[in-house]
Each structure stands twice: as C-alpha cells, then as structure tokens.
Amino acid sequence: MNIYVANISFRATEEQLKDLFQQFGEVTSAKIVKDRDTGRSRGFGFVEMANDSEGTAAIAQLNGTSFGERNLVVNEARPPKS
C-alpha cells in the first residue's frame, strides 16, 4: 500500500519516517520529497507498506498525530492525474 504523508517537519529524516510507520508492519520504502533546486524537504512524502491491512492501520492511527512538532496528515496515496 502506498501512503501519502503531509505536514512532515522540515527537520525529519526518511529514517525517522520509516521508524514511525514500522510499528504497524513492514515498510518497504519511505521517501520525503525534496525541492529540486535547494534539496530542502517540501514537507510531504510517501511510505510504501508491504501489507494493505497494516497500511490501513497505520493511516488510522497516525493521521492527526504529532510528529516533529507538526500534526501529520496521512492518507492512502492516489495515482497522479493524467
């Protein structure tokens, strides 16, 4: 399951994001999107979880919770619009 995570602290690392989601199951990848020019975090990212039920549990438990001084917005990622 691909999960969209918004309102991530600019100081958070991909490893911290991965650790946060691992309490719910196997995380296959965690990526924080960075600005192309500055390399600075854009405040959102994606987490890929191996199991859909674990991903659903992570979304339910983490949406609205505090992480790095900010409240996360966590949803299932939607495919890009064409």
Helix, strand or coil, per DSSP, at residue 71: strand
Q: What is the pLDDT of residues 10-41, one digit of tens each?
A: 999 999 999 999 999 999 999 999 999 999 99
The residues near 77 (Cβ < 8 Å, ≥ 6 apart) are 2, 3, 4, 46
Q: What is the pLDDT of residues 66-77, one digit of tens each?
A: 998 899 999 999
Which domains does the chain show, CATH number per domain?
A: 1-29+38-45+73-82 (3.30.70.330)
Question: What are the strands of the beta sheet with 27-34, ordered from one edge?
Answer: 27-34, 41-49, 2-6, 73-76
Question: Does residue 80 surpass a pLDDT of 80?
Answer: no
What is the model's pTM? Answer: 0.92
